[in-house]
C-alpha cells in the first residue's frame, strides 16, 4: 500500500482528524496532469449550464467585493467634505452591493453543490458500470480495498474539489487581479508598499504550513499505529492474555501514545501560531497603510476615504493568495484521484463476443489437452484431458494447489485457456458468449455468497422470473423448509450482513436452493461442505444428491466421504491427472487416492 493510500485509510478510520490538519496533508500528484484535466473537462462540458451559472455568480460576487470598498471610500470622503455627492444614495448603493455579494455567495454554494454532485454521480455510474464488466482476472489481481477506495475516497476528493476548491480558485484569481488593478489606479505608491505585507504573509504561510504538514503527517501515522494497537488488543485479547503479553502491549501502547502526544503538541503549536502571525502581519500592513496613507493624504496625493479603502483591499488581496495555496494541494490530490479512476475506466471489458450457446438437456463437458498459466510463466494446468458425460457426476480431488478450482474457472471462462479446447456437446466454449455459457452453469462455492436482500431475492438471483412453485420446490429439495419456518417473515426475511443472521450450513443450503431455482444444465460444487460440521454436511450432501440427479455435475472436495458415489473420481497433482476411476477401483490401485483416503481415515488433515 502506498503512503498516500495509507494516509487516506488512517484519516478515514479516525474521527475528528480531518480538520485543520487536512489542509496540510501530503499532496498526491498525477503522472499526466494535462491529459487528466482534459478528461475531467469532458464531464464539466456535460454540465455547461451549471458551470456557466457558477462562473457568473462567482464573477458577480468578486466584482461586488471589489466595488464595495470604493463606495465606502466615497462615503467617507463625502462625510469628510473632500468629495461632493449624496451620502444617502451612496450608502444605499453600498447596501445593494453587499446584498448582491451575499446572494452571490449563496448561489455560488448552490451551483457548486449541484455541479459537484452531477459530475460525481456521472463518474460513479461509469465506474460502477465498468466494475461489472471487468474481467475476473482484474479483480483477482488487484486489491479489493484499492478498487473500492477509487469509488469512495478518490471520487469524494473530486467532489470536494469541485464544490469548494474550484469556486475559491476562480474567485481568488479574479479578486487578486481586480484588487491589484484598483489599488494601482488609486495610488500606485501605496499599492507597492502594501505588497510588502503580502510577501510577508506568503513567506509566513509557507514556513508555518511546512511545519504543520510535517508534524500532522507524523501525527496521522502515529494515530494509525495507535488505532491498530488498540484494534489488535481487542480482537486478539484472548491470545494476549494467554501469552501474558499485557505488560509488553501496554508499554508499546504508551510509547506510541507519548510520541503521538509530542507530535500533537507541535502540530497544535504551529497551527495555533498561524492565526496570530497572520493577524500580526495584517496589523503591520494596516500601520504601513495608515502611516504612509496619512503622509500621502497630507500632501494631497490621496483622500482619507482611499486610505480606508486600501485597508480593506490589503486584507482582501492577501486572503485569496492563502486560499489558492491551499486549493493547489486539493487540486493536485483530486487530479491524482481522477487519474486513478480513469485507469480503471480505461481497462478492457470482458470479451462479450461469441455465438449464443445452444445446449440441450444432455450436456457433456470435454477438456481436450488443456494448458493454462495465470501469468504466462509457470503452467498451472498441463495437458489436461477429461470427459464429463451428460448426466454423470465427476469428482476432482487432490492436494491444495493441484489445479482443481482452476479447471472450474476455465470452464466458466473466468480465464481463457492458453491452448487446447473446452467443449460442451462438441461446441467450443470460446465460440460462445460468456453470458449465454454462464446461464447454463450454476456454482455452489466453499465461501457462500449471499446478498443483503430478502431470501426470495437471493433464491431468484440466477432466475429472476422464477415462480413461487419453483421456489417452494427448490426449498423442499434442498432441505431449507425448516429454515424457512423459523424465519420471521418467510421468503421476505432480509438476510442482513450477507447472511450473517443465519448459520454457515444454512447459507450453504440456500446456495444449493438457489442453484436449484436456476435449473442449470451443468452443476459445479467447489468444496461446498468444507466449512460445516458432520451433521450439517449430511444434510447438504442429501440436498446435493437431489439437485445433481440427471444433471452433469463436477464436484471438488477434500472430504473424500462426500464423493464416494461419484461416477468418476479424478485425482490431480500439479495440474495433471495422475489417477482416475471409481472409489473402489482407486482404492484397489493403492496409489495417490488410496494415500489420501487412508490419511483422512486415520484422522489427519490432507
Question: Residues 499, 516: one domain?
Answer: yes
120-134, 307-321, 553-567 — which is least confidently predicted? 307-321
Tens-digit pLDDT profile for residues 257-295: 888 888 888 877 877 777 777 778 777 777 777 777 777
In a domain, 499, yes or no: yes
Residue 65's domain comprises: 33-186
- Of residues 311 and 517, more confidence is placed in 517
CATH number of the domain encompassing residue 488 = 3.40.50.300
- The pLDDT score that the predictor gives to residue 574 is 87
- Of residues 79 and 323, more confidence is placed in 79
Q: Taking residues 215-237, what's their average pLDDT? A: 77
In a domain, 104, yes or no: yes
- The pLDDT score that the predictor gives to residue 484 is 81
- The pLDDT score that the predictor gives to residue 601 is 63
In a domain, 20, yes or no: no
- The pLDDT score that the predictor gives to residue 368 is 92
- The pLDDT score that the predictor gives to residue 405 is 86
In a domain, 435, yes or no: yes
pLDDT at 5 over 50: no
Question: Residues 423, 532: one domain?
Answer: yes
Question: Residues 260, 156: one domain?
Answer: no
Rounded-to-integer distance, Cα 33 and Cα 5, Å: 19
Q: How confident is the model at residue 14 (pLDDT cuts 50, 70, 90)?
A: very low
Question: Residues 195, 152: one domain?
Answer: no
Question: Residues 39, 117: one domain?
Answer: yes
Question: In the listed set 165, 186, 207, which residue is the last one of a domain according to the structure?
Answer: 186
Question: Residues 391, 520: one domain?
Answer: yes
Residues 6+ apart with CB under 8 A from 275: none
- The pLDDT score that the predictor gives to residue 369 is 92
- The pLDDT score that the predictor gives to residue 29 is 53
Rounded-to-integer distance, Cα 482 and Cα 472, Å: 12
What is the model's pTM? 0.68
How far is CA 505 from each of CA 52, 495, 532, rounded to the nearest angstrom? 59, 14, 6
Rounded-to-integer distance, Cα 223 and Cα 14, Å: 8
Tens-digit pLDDT profile for residues 518-573: 888 888 888 766 656 666 667 767 777 777 877 888 888 877 777 888 889 999 98
User: Please, which contacts does 164-170 make with residues 24 or more away whose CB atoms are closer than 8 Å?
Assistant: 164/112, 164/330, 165/327, 165/330, 165/331, 165/334, 166/112, 167/54, 167/58, 167/108, 167/112, 168/320, 168/323, 168/324, 168/327, 169/324, 169/327, 169/331, 170/55, 170/58
CATH number of the domain encompassing residue 133 = 1.20.1560.10
- The pLDDT score that the predictor gives to residue 537 is 67
Within 10 angstroms of residue 317's Cβ, the number of other Cβ atoms is: 23
Question: Residues 248, 124: one domain?
Answer: no
Rounded-to-integer distance, Cα 458 and Cα 499, Å: 10
Q: Taking residues 348-365, what's their average pLDDT? A: 78
Distance of CA 80 to the CA centre of its chain: 62
Tens-digit pLDDT profile for residues 17-66: 334 334 334 445 556 777 888 888 888 888 888 888 888 888 888 888 88
Question: Residues 178, 216: one domain?
Answer: no
Q: Taking residues 360-380, what's their average pLDDT? A: 85
In a domain, 356, yes or no: no
Tens-digit pLDDT profile for residues 391-408: 888 999 888 888 888 888
Share of the chain above pLDDT 70, in %: 87
Question: Residues 503, 521: one domain?
Answer: yes
- The pLDDT score that the predictor gives to residue 20 is 39
In a domain, 511, yes or no: yes
Give the β-pairing of 441-444 and 522-526. Answer: parallel
Question: In the listed set 161, 186, 211, which residue is the last one of a domain according to the structure?
Answer: 186
Q: Taking residues 159-183, what's their average pLDDT? A: 79
Give the β-pairing of 365-372 and 381-388. Answer: antiparallel
92-101, 109-118, 165-174, 324-333 — which is least confidently predicted? 324-333
Question: Residues 535, 596: one domain?
Answer: yes
Which three three-digit cell numbers place residue 594?
488410496
* Total domains, the chain: 3
In a domain, 16, yes or no: no
pLDDT, mean over the chain: 79
How far is CA 299 from each of CA 78, 190, 292, 294, 557, rounded to the nearest angstrom? 19, 13, 11, 9, 99
Question: Residues 193, 164: one domain?
Answer: no
- The pLDDT score that the predictor gives to residue 371 is 92
Rounded-to-integer distance, Cα 295 and Cα 434, Å: 84
Question: In the listed set 250, 270, 301, which residue is the last one of a domain according to the structure?
Answer: 301
In a domain, 415, yes or no: yes
Question: Residues 172, 192: one domain?
Answer: no
Tens-digit pLDDT profile for residues 184-223: 887 777 777 777 777 777 777 778 777 776 777 677 678 7
Residues 6+ apart with CB under 8 A from 278: 201, 204, 205, 322
Tens-digit pLDDT profile for residues 571-605: 998 888 998 998 889 888 888 888 888 877 654 44
Rounded-to-integer distance, Cα 530 and Cα 35, Å: 50
Amino acid at each position: 500500500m502506498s503512503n498516500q493510500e495509507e494516509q487516506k485509510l488512517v484519516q478515514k478510520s479516525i474521527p475528528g482528524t480531518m480538520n485543520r490538519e487536512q489542509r496540510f496533508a501530503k499532496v498526491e500528484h498525477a503522472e499526466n496532469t494535462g491529459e487528466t484535466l482534459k478528461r475531467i473537462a469532458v464531464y464539466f462540458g456535460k454540465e455547461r449550464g451549471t458551470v456557466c451559472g457558477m462562473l457568473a455568480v462567482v464573477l458577480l460576487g468578486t466584482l461586488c467585493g471589489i466595488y464595495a470598498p470604493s463606495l465606502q471610500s466615497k462615503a467617507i470622503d463625502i462625510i469628510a467634505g473632500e468629495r461632493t455627492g449624496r451620502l444617502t444614495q451612496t450608502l444605499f448603493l453600498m447596501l445593494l452591493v453587499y446584498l448582491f455579494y451575499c446572494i452571490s455567495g449563496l448561489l455560488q454554494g448552490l451551483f457548486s453543490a449541484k455541479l459537484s454532485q452531477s459530475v460525481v454521480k456521472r463518474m460513479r455510474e461509469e465506474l460502477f458500470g465498468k466494475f461489472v464488466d471487468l474481467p475476473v482476472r482484474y479483480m483477482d489481481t488487484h486489491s479489493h480495498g484499492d478498487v473500492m477506495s477509487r469509488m469512495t475516497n478518490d471520487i469524494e476528493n473530486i467532489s470536494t474539489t469541485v464544490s469548494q476548491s474550484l469556486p475559491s480558485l476562480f474567485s481568488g484569481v479574479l479578486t487578486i487581479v481586480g484588487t491589484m488593478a484598483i489599488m494601482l489606479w488609486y495610488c500606485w505608491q501605496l499599492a507597492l508598499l502594501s505588497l510588502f505585507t503580502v510577501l510577508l504573509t506568503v513567506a509566513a504561510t509557507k514556513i508555518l504550513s511546512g511545519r504543520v504538514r510535517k508534524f500532522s503527517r507524523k501525527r496521522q501515522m502515529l494515530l494509525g499505529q495507535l488505532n491498530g494497537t488498540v484494534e489488535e488488543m481487542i480482537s486478539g485479547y484472548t491470545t494476549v492474555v494467554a501469552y501474558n503479553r499485557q505488560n509488553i502491549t501496554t508499554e508499546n501502547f504508551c510509547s506510541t501514545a507519548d510520541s503521538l502526544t509530542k507530535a500533537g503538541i507541535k502540530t497544535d503549536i504551529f497551527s495555533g501560531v498561524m492565526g496570530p502571525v497572520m493577524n500580526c502581519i495584517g496589523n503591520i500592513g494596516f500601520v504601513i497603510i495608515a502611516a504612509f496613507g496619512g503622509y500621502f493624504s497630507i500632501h494631497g496625493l490621496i483622500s482619507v476615504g482611499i486610505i480606508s479603502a486600501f485597508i480593506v483591499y490589503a486584507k482582501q488581496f492577501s486572503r485569496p493568495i492563502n486560499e489558492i495555496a491551499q486549493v493547489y494541494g486539493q487540486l493536485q490530490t483530486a487530479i491524482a484521484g481522477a487519474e486513478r479512476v480513469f485507469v480503471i475506466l480505461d481497462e478492457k471489458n470482458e470479451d462479450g463476443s461469441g455465438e449464443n450457446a445452444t445446449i440441450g438437456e444432455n450436456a457433456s463437458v470435454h477438456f481436450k489437452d488443456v494448458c493454462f498459466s495465470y501469468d504466462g510463466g509457470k503452467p498451472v494446468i498441463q495437458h489436461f484431458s477429461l470427459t464429463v458425460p451428460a448426466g454423470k457426476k465427476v469428482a476432482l480431488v487432490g492436494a491444495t494447489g493441484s489445479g482443481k478450482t482452476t479447471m472450474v474457472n476455465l470452464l466458466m471462462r473466468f480465464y481463457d485457456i492458453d491452448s487446447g479446447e473446452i467443449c460442451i456437446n462438441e461446441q467450443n466454449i470460446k465460440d460462445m458468449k460468456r453470458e449465454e455459457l454462464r446461464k447454463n452453469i450454476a456454482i455452489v462455492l466453499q465461501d457462500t455468497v449471499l446478498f443483503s436482500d430478502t431470501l426470495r431475492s437471493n433464491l431468484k438471483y440466477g432466475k429472476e422470473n422464477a415462480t413461487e412453485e419453483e421456489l417452494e420446490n427448490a426449498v423442499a429439495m434442498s432441505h431449507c423448509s425448516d429454515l424457512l419456518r423459523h424465519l420471521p417473515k418467510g421468503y421476505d426475511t432480509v438476510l442482513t450482513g450477507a447472511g450473517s443472521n443465519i448459520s454457515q450450513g444454512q447459507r450453504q443450503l440456500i446456495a444449493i436452493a438457489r442453484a436449484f431455482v436456476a435449473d442449470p444444465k451443468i452443476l459445479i460444487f467447489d468444496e461446498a461442505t468444507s466449512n460445516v460440521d458432520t451433521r450439517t454436511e449430511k444434510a447438504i450432501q442429501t440436498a446435493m444428491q437431489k439437485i445433481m440427479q440427471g444433471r452433469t455435475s463436477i464436484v471438488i472436495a477434500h472430504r473424500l466421504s462426500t464423493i464416494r458415489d461419484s461416477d468418476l473420481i479424478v485425482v490431480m497433482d500439479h495440474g495433471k491427472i495422475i489417477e482416475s476411476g471409481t472409489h473402489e477401483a482407486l482404492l484397489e490401485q493403492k496409489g495417490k487416492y488410496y494415500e489420501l483416503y487412508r490419511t483422512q481415515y486415520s484422522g489427519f488433515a490432507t
